[in-house]
Amino acid sequence: MLIADLFEETYFAIRANKFRSGLTILGIVIGIGSVIAMIAIGQGSTSSIEARIQSMGSNLLTISPGIQKSFSQVQSQRGSAQTLTLEDADAIANEISSVQAVAPELSQRYQIVYKGTNTNTQVVGTTASYPGVKSIEIDEGSFVSEQNVNSLSKVAVLGPTVRDDLFGENANPVGQTIKINGISFKVIGLTKSKGGTGFGSQDNMVFIPISTAQKFLAGAEYVSTINVQAENSKVMEQAKTEITNLLLQRHNITTAEAADFSVLSQEDMLESASSIADTMTILLASIAGISLVVGGIGIMNMMMTTVTERTREIGLRKAIGAKRLDISLQFLAEAVMLTFVGGVIGTLLGIGVAWGITFFSDTDTKISLFSIILAFSVSAGIGIGFGWWPAQKAAKLNPIEALRYE
């Protein structure tokens, strides 16, 4: 049998049962479509998390406190310790040569009120070097200055999301007075939007002098994070080691294992965030994969029915000279063509769904060539895998029995 004839026979056979073939293809369409869409969502969120971490500024090291050591067996949450101080930050800035800038911060969530409106957001007490370290740009007014920090000024710089919530979109809040935790602050600036939504967005923050935050809001002398900018990306590891050694020495701790703080580079954060996102991608894809397997079983079911229905036809084909291989190829081609058509439509559907999700819900999606190749090879594999048994069943039919079949 020539290849062209094989395709023609297959086309005729599929066309003869349009409705049933259509339903079977639908199973594969849904399977492939959901795999593509799910991988797109997973990879989209991976890349948006990566972009967000990268937007925090390159060459960034983040020092956060470790677990508060206590004498009881009960351990507190990591990061809850209040062991980092402004003096630690100064020491890092002064003593380590590979460090370019240091920005300590003391962050906590507070209720913020402007006239009738209010919002709850992250209030970051920090110093003048913060915008440089975290790559934040000023839109209106100015950022917290050295002077503000020294004189415990009650001034605040708003992120654009906070401005939108309190003053309305595109309003200029500079010069207005807001209340943070009941204390009046004068708005002196507005930062530029960096994009991104949800947890950790730098648009949804209020910046105030760190001294003010310690004295009037937290009432304590610690800092919650020290942000460090290294000279360049080559000295990151060196800076990390030097900072660790310096802080161990300052905190009178002898071994690195017992450290009450941790130093994370942007790369470390990127790595752990990506691995979480990758796990999510795999999880989503495997759930979608189940529907693909169900679709494949649908193919097998249809092929089994077809073989039974066409028993007489198979008998005739054998009587006029079709060999086993001819018959099995014919049914295999039918199964593969069903899955292939399903694969093409499913891929388009998956791309459409991913596009729709991005369009309507702002969730980033990313279609990769890999997921399309994966979908196609899986659908071809399913066609061959689930079509094999019915095709063998057809090929092994005894022509006499098949011709007699009623």
Partner 1 sequence: MERRRVAKCKCFFVKAMMIEVRNITKVYRTSLLGDSAQAIETKVLKGVSFSIKEGEFVAIIGPSGSGKSTLMHILGCLDAPTTGQYFFEGKDVSKLSDDELADIRKNEIGFVFQAFNLLSRTTVLRNVELPLIYANTLKDKREEIAKKALLSAGLEEKRFYHLSNQLSGGEMQRVAVARALVNDPAIIFADEPTGNLDSKTGELVLETFQNLNKQGRTIILITHEKYIAEHAKRIISLKDGEIIEDVASHQTKIIGQIRE
Catalog residues that contact partner 1 under the rule CB under 8 A.
Answer: 1-2, 4-5, 9, 12, 16, 312-313, 315-326, 399-400, 403
CB of 13 to partner 1, least distance (A): 10
Q: How far is the CB of 392 from partner 1 (least distance, A)?
A: 14
Shortest reach from residue 373's CB to partner 1, in Å = 34
Please list, residue by residue across 33-50, b when 16 or more beta carbons sit within 10 angstroms of its beta carbon and e when fewer do.
bbbbbbbbbbbbbbbbbe
228 contacts 63 by C-beta, under 8 angstroms: yes
Sort strands 205-209 and 155-158 into parallel, antiparallel or unpaired. antiparallel
Q: Indicate the residue among 268 and 313 with the shorter CB distance to partner 1.
A: 313
Q: State how far the Cα of 406 lies from the Cα of 404, in Å rounded to an integer.
A: 6
Running DSSP on this structure, what letter comes out for residue 174?
T
Dist. CA 240–CA 54, nearest whole Å:
18
Let me know how long the chain is.
406
Identify which of residues 30 and 327 has a Cβ nearer to partner 1 in the complex: 327
Beta bridge partners of 206: 123, 158
- 341: Cα separation from own chain's centroid: 31
Q: Give Cα separations from 76 to 206, 237, 254, 289 (angstroms).
A: 27, 29, 22, 40
Q: Select 320 or 369, whichever has its Cβ closest to partner 1.
A: 320
- Shortest spacing between CB 333 and partner 1, in angstroms: 13
The smaller minimum CB distance to partner 1, of residues 50 and 313, is found at 313
User: Minimum distance between the CB of residue 4 and partner 1, rounded to whole angstroms?
Assistant: 8
The contacts of residue 56 (CB under 8 Å, 6+ apart) are 134, 135, 202, 266
Contact 221, 214 (CB under 8 A): yes
Nearer to partner 1, 260 or 313 (CB): 313
Q: Which is nearer to partner 1, 132 or 399 (CB)?
A: 399
CB-wise, 122 or 328, nearer to partner 1? 328
Q: Least distance to partner 1 from the beta carbon of 322, Å? A: 5
SS3 of residue 386 by DSSP: helix
Min dist CB 323 to partner 1, Å, is 5
| Of 354, 252, 336, 370, residue with least CA distance to 25 | 336
Structure tokens at 272: 């752990």
**Considering the complex, what minimum distance in angstroms separates the CB of residue 389 from partner 1?**
19
Judged by CB, which is closer to partner 1: 5, or 237?
5
Q: What is the DSSP letter of 321?
A: T
